[in-house]
Amino acid sequence: MKLFYSGNSPYARRPRLAVVEFGLEDKVEVIDVSPLNDPKNILHNYGPGAKVPALETDTGAFVCETLLILQILDEASGGKFYPSDPVARGKAMQIEGIASLLMDSLFERSHENRRDPAEKSAAVIEKEAGRAARCYDALEAAVDELSGPLHMGILSAAASLGYADGRHPGDNWRTGRPKLAAWYEDFIKRPALANSMPNFG
């Protein structure tokens, strides 16, 4: 399979992390397709979205959308991404959902922040900042789960927090969330995390 990514994409970082952490490096070739804003970007040859992550499967499908890609990679790993026990699996999915919500919210706010002042919506920015704060709180409350056996929700939570640091340093998400801050500082020492840290200059 081929996984297309760009280095600073928080979405693409999730399957990139999974490939390393769940032992798929022999099955998945990772291909950097940045810069994404190049109209001749190779992704335009494959489908309408031209977004990362994108996955070309061994059966010739070209699949976009992070959660679908993770589903395919999970199958390729023999189901390593989520626990098999139903209760643990539900908790892992709960974390994955919060991490996804957080990433979407941060992504939307970052676009809104970069609009021309006349086009910017203070209401959207405020609404998404509130949603992100609730997600940070939920992750702080779930830190025991984050510290447990590795699953995809944990990797996605780390990717979202890394993106928060890059695009929304003013969120100061560590303030008032000491358990999450301590967990994250330790977790990002894992080579897969350290080697894929985004750099927004």
Ligand X SMILES: N[C@@H](CCC(=O)N[C@@H](CS)C(=O)NCC(=O)O)C(=O)O
Closest to ligand X by CB, 24 or 103: 103
Q: Is 43 in contact with 58 (CB distance < 8 Å)?
A: no
Closest to ligand X by CB, 163 or 184: 163
The SS3 of residue 155 is helix
Residue numbers of the site for ligand X (CB under 6 A)?
9-11, 36, 50-53, 65-66
Q: How far is the CB of 100 from ligand X (least distance, A)?
A: 8
Q: CB-based contacts of 110: which residues, under 8 Å, 6+ apart?
A: 167, 168
Residue nearest to ligand X according to CB distances in the complex: 51
The H or E element containing residue 62 is strand 62-64
Cα separation, 179 vs 83, in Å, equals 23
Closest to ligand X by CB, 10 or 83: 10
Closest to ligand X by CB, 48 or 60: 48
Closest to ligand X by CB, 66 or 160: 66
Q: How far is the CB of 30 from ligand X (least distance, A)?
A: 15
The H or E element containing residue 187 is helix 178-187
Closest to ligand X by CB, 88 or 93: 93
Compute the Cα dihedral for 141, 142, 148, 153 and give only its sign.
negative
Q: CB-based contacts of 70: which residues, under 8 Å, 6+ apart?
A: 14, 15, 18, 81, 152
Q: How far is the CB of 172 from ligand X (least distance, A)?
A: 23
Q: How far is the CB of 62 from ligand X (least distance, A)?
A: 13
Q: How far is the CB of 86 from ligand X (least distance, A)?
A: 26
Going by C-alpha positions, the residue among 44, 39, 45, 63 that lies closest to residue 53 is 63
Q: How far is the CB of 85 from ligand X (least distance, A)?
A: 27
